């Protein structure tokens, strides 16, 4: 044991009382105070505890025992609505818009007149083509009579064979002229008929893009848009790795997959949809394939071009395992959990997280009966022996 020397300085009796010095009345207990401090030092030196003699208490964690169950998974995909038929109404003839026969936004039937384009020139062209056809038909009739007459004379050797042959050629030429005149008349009739624009499909008109009196050009000017949006299509994309999974659930009347729409105001569309088809090719730039759903739209709530969220709900099989999401340990390289082995020894196990269900996450890589640490992760380390509180 080391020898400790104490040096205590006591103010002189001839010194006055100064700030920071003990009063003379305290001299009586100063030696006792010094001796007491010396005794404490000696005691502390004699009772020093060797390092490592005390052990840290075991950490206490909460664990859950995994049991297989059936869960309902809800997945969301960004989607776009598209009418089952959408037609841009462009004129087939050129002229000024003469009349509007169907109001914007109205429901029209296929073949119903919608717009009139000035018909003056097309009516004149039709009349001219009809006259040309009459002329060609009359010439053909004359040539046919001449040929018949020449053939009768040829039987009596009254004319040369060459004359009869020339008459036959003239008939064929006249027949070709009649055919050409008929084609010209048909073209003129088509132009005249197309001067009245009719609905190519049944559907709803949009907003008129031109005004009465405007010149519209054949095949160029957009007059309006006609859509048939009942039923309505909803398109979204999935990774190519899920093609086989979605294909198995296409078209089955007893399929357990459910498709819903979440609208822009976060409300759910009232009617459930059906899986119509998967596209016939994968987009090589994204590695995804487009999926098309179909929804009834008799109340016209859905509009073509709307952005929606496609909600897919489907049950898992009965062997599915899920752990509380707070039990997951996420690093850049992997996702893992702490499990408890024999003797409540902590071990780390790598897993593959899948769909998330509220506070649970469906996982792969674990087995039924595994005990997973859900609370106390910060106090435990792999290899530690811990105290365990089981959750139901």
**Angle, helices 161-194/120-155, rounded to nearest 10 degrees:** 160
Q: What is the three-class DSSP state of 67?
A: coil
The Cα 372–Cα 211 span in angstroms is: 72
**For residue 78, what is the enclosing H or E element?**
strand 72-89
Please count the other Cβ atoms lying within 10 Å of the Cβ belonging to residue 191: 22
Q: Which residues pair with 295 in a beta bridge?
A: 232
What is the Cα 114 distance to its own chain's centre? 36
Class of domain 61-71+318-390: mainly beta
Q: DSSP of 256-315, one letter per residue?
A: --EEEEE-TTSPBPSS-BEEEEE-SS-BTTTTEEEEEEEE--TT----TT-EEEEEEEEE
Residue 145 confidence (pLDDT): 92
The Cα 258–Cα 274 span in angstroms is: 8
Give the pTM: 0.65
Domain map (residue ranges) of the chain: 1-47, 61-71+318-390, 119-194, 224-315
Q: What is the pLDDT along the chain (392 residues), one digit of tens a residue?
A: 444 443 444 444 444 444 433 333 333 433 443 434 434 443 444 444 444 445 568 889 999 999 999 999 889 999 999 999 999 999 999 999 999 999 999 999 999 999 999 999 999 999 999 999 999 999 999 999 988 888 888 888 878 888 888 888 999 999 999 999 999 999 999 999 999 999 999 999 999 999 999 999 999 999 999 999 999 999 999 999 999 989 888 766 667 899 999 999 999 999 999 999 999 999 999 999 999 999 999 998 999 999 999 999 988 889 999 999 999 999 888 999 999 999 999 999 999 998 888 889 999 999 999 999 999 888 889 999 999 987 76
Best CATH choice for the domain 119-194 from the list 3.40.50.10490, 3.40.50.720, 3.20.20.150, 1.10.287.470: 1.10.287.470
Burial class from Cβ neighbours inside 10 Å (0-12, 13-18, 19+) for residue 250 reads: middle
The CATH number of the domain covering residues in 224-315: 2.40.30.170
């Amino acid at each position: 044991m080391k020898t400790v020397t104490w040096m205590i300085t006591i103010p002189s009796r001839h010194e006055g009382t100064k700030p920071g010095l003990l009063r003379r009345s305290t001299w009586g207990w100063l030696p006792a105070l010094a001796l007491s401090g010396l005794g404490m030092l000696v005691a502390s030196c004699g009772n020093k505890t060797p390092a490592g003699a005390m052990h840290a208490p075991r950490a206490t964690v909460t664990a859950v025992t995994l049991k297989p169950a059936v869960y309902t998974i809800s997945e969301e995909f960004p989607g776009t609505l598209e009418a089952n038929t959408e037609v841009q109404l462009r004129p087939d003839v050129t002229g000024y818009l003469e009349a509007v026969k169907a109001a914007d936004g109205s429901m029209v039937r296929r073949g119903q007149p919608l717009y009139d384009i000035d018909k003056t020139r097309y009516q004149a062209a039709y009349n001219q083509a009809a006259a040309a056809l009459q002329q060609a038909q009359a010439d053909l009739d004359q040539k046919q009579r001449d040929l018949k007459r020449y053939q009768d004379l040829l039987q009596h050797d009254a004319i040369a064979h060459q004359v009869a042959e020339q008459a036959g050629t003239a008939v064929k030429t006249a027949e070709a002229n009649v055919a050409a005149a008929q084609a010209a008349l048909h073209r003129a009739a088509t132009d005249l008929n197309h001067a009245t624009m009719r609905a190519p499909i049944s559907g709803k008109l949009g907003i008129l893009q031109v005004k009465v009196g405007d010149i519209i050009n054949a095949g160029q000017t957009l007059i309006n848009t006609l859509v048939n949006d009942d039923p309505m299509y909803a398109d979204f994309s999935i990774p190519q790795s899920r093609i086989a999974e979605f294909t198995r659930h296409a078209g089955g009347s007893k399929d357990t997959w459910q498709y819903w729409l979440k609208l822009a105001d976060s409300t759910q569309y009232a009617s459930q949809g059906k899986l119509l088809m998967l596209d016939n090719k994968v987009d090589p730039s994204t590695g995804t394939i487009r999926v098309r759903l179909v929804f009834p739209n008799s109340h016209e709530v859905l509009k073509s071009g709307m952005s929606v969220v496609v909600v897919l709900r489907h049950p898992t099989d009965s062997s599915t395992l899920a752990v509380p999401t707070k039990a997951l340990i996420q690093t850049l390289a992997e996702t893992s959990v702490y499990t408890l082995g024999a003797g409540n020894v902590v071990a780390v196990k790598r897993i593959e997280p899948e769909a998330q269900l509220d506070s649970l996450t469906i996982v792969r890589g674990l087995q039924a009966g595994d005990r997973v640490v859900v609370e106390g992760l910060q106090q435990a380390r792999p290899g530690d022996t811990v105290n365990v509180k089981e959750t139901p």
